[in-house]
Amino acid sequence: MNLLLQGGWVVTADRLEQADVAVAGEKIAAVGPDLAAPGAQVRDVSGRYILPGVIDAHVHYQMPVGNLFTADDWFTGTRLAACGGVTTVIDYAEPVSPGEPLLAALSRRRAEAGDLACVDFSLHQVVLAGQEEDTVGLKAVVGEGVASFKVFTTYNQRLSPAAIGRLLQQARNLGALVTVHCEDHEMITMKRRELEAAGQTDPAYHAVSRPAAVEVKAIQDLIQKAGEADAPVYIVHVSTGSGAAAIAAARSRGQEVYGETCPHYLLLTAERYAGPESRLFLMCPPLRTAADNEILWQHLAAGGLQVVATDHCSYSRSQKATGTAFYNTPSGVPGTETLLPLLYSYGVRSGWLTLPQLVRVLSTNPARLFGLYPRKGCLAPGSDADLVIFDPRRQVTLTAAGLHSAAGYTVFEGFSLQGYPEATYLRGQLIYDQGHFLGQAGWGRFIPGQVVPGGQDLLK
């Protein structure tokens, strides 16, 4: 045994108990009361929670967009993850064009991360138009550790409804999960034309340009397609109460539909687009209303949504300032570092979620859905010793200066938190302790996702 975390409260997906955690090498060796570990380094964690490392299932590091790259690269993105209690991130392997073979895109993206990642990582495979017919390529990337595909219903990368249907069938045969950015492209195009004709193109019109119905229609259409294909489907960054309700309704009819939301959709509203800093809050889909915030919390609490991830897609103020209109402003915000403390303060302390639910939506559910469980997302003997020591008494006011993103700002500036990560262990190694990053570029490893053939409910 090398490490004994003594006297803390262990939180798992189904319980909260006072227990010690013993670590041997990279793995959890034992969890239980009054463990003896002769020769091990002992850390007193009384009064603190011990959680399985958080998995941020939706990040974009050094992503090319036009002639820019997102501000956080594999090093700064995974360093800030460690500082926020996140021990695994899932980014995207996106072909540069439909002509780039899927396997080549996957290898390129793995190589980019290789020497830079400070926490473990996995990859969703983006599938572009036509590639949904590449049965051999899809099978090959699954064989290399891809458990999920990603498609868009808008942007240049969009797939037609028929192509999405074909991919759903391929994925079902392979046991992989299709994840989808849901916004209706035709509705977006029409609305943009209307606003351009009226001269209303300032970033302040961003939310008006993509009303709730844009997301809801795309979600409803997708649920229908997934039902026809008899395939599970996962909807990323759900921003609307009605979108979440459509997912919950499909699930209650027995359909295997999963939904992810993000802290900004739970905690911020479109009023942020009124100020001079509207560009900094511009992401797709846009922020909504306080009523949407509340309905998203309700569905998260009731199990209608299963994952909270961040869609960490950071741009600096100067990158954001290159935008002259809502449609050409770099879209996305940073978020990984504040994921756990925000969900604890505004989810658990506000009474929406229990501690085991917090662990489910931030760690266990993404691990199961993306083929990483029980190596990740599980605090039990044999799992990787990815652990967060969380101090529920620590009071923090969020400021960009206290965070580590190359964006240089946070959309949660001034938010009061009670509870903050004290320390983070990655496979038994201390990588963050009381404000200090102790990890290293290259310590993060690619973790292959393992598919679950047969398409049974991935959370059971």
288 touches 243 (CB < 8 A): no
**Residue 228: CB minimum distance to ligand URP, A:** 25
- Residue number, 334 or 371, with CB nearest to ligand URP: 334
Check binding of 124 to ligand URP (CB under 6 A): no
Per DSSP, the residues of 301-327 read HHTSS-EE---B----HHHHTT-SSTT
Q: Which of 284, 305, 309, 372 binds ligand URP (CB under 6 A)?
A: 284
Check binding of 331 to ligand URP (CB under 6 A): yes
Distance, in Å, from the CA atom of 6 to the CA atom of 169, rounded to the nearest integer, reads 49
- Residue number, 311 or 391, with CB nearest to Zn ion: 311
Distance, in Å, from the CA atom of 312 to the CA atom of 123, rounded to the nearest integer, reads 14
Indicate which of ligand URP, Zn ion, none lies near residue 283 (CB less than 5 to 8 Å, by partner kind). Answer: ligand URP
Q: Which of 181, 299, 375, 445 binds ligand URP (CB under 6 A)?
A: 181
Q: Which of 311, 337, 384, 386 binds Zn ion (CB under 5 A)?
A: 311
Distance, in Å, from the CA atom of 408 to the CA atom of 405, rounded to the nearest integer, reads 6
Residues 175-234 that bind Zn ion (CB under 5 A): 181
Segments in 84-134 forming alpha helices (H): 102-114
Distance, in Å, from the CA atom of 81 to the CA atom of 90, rounded to the nearest integer, reads 11
Q: Which of 20, 311, 337, 422 binds ligand URP (CB under 6 A)?
A: 311
- Residue number, 155 or 434, with CB nearest to Zn ion: 155
Measured on CA atoms in the order 309, 315, 321, 323, is the torsion positive or negative?
A: negative
Q: 180 has which bridge partners?
A: 151, 235
Instruction: Retrieve residue 145's tokens.
Output: 């550790």
Q: Which of 332, 366, 371, 377 binds ligand URP (CB under 6 A)?
A: 332
**What letter represents residue 313's amino acid?**
C
* Selected range binding Zn ion among 173-181, 211-219, 340-348, 363-371, rule: CB under 5 A: 173-181
Per DSSP, the residues of 398-416 read --GGGS--TT---TTTT-E
- Residue number, 284 or 389, with CB nearest to ligand URP: 284
Indicate which of Zn ion, ligand URP, none lies near residue 444 (CB less than 5 to 8 Å, by partner kind). Answer: none
Helix (H) or strand (E) holding 32: strand 27-32
Indicate which of Zn ion, ligand URP, none lies near residue 235 (CB less than 5 to 8 Å, by partner kind). Answer: none
**Residue 163: CB minimum distance to ligand URP, A:** 18
Distance, in Å, from the CA atom of 262 to the CA atom of 336, rounded to the nearest integer, reads 10
**Residue 203: CB minimum distance to ligand URP, A:** 12
**Residue 312: CB minimum distance to ligand URP, A:** 9
Q: 288 has which bridge partners?
A: 269
Say how many residues touch ligand URP, by CB under 6 A.
Answer: 8
Distance, in Å, from the CA atom of 359 to the CA atom of 354, rounded to the nearest integer, reads 9
> Which stretches of the chain bind Zn ion, using CB under 5 A?
181, 311
> Which stretches of the chain bind ligand URP, using CB under 6 A?
60, 181, 283-284, 311, 313, 331-332
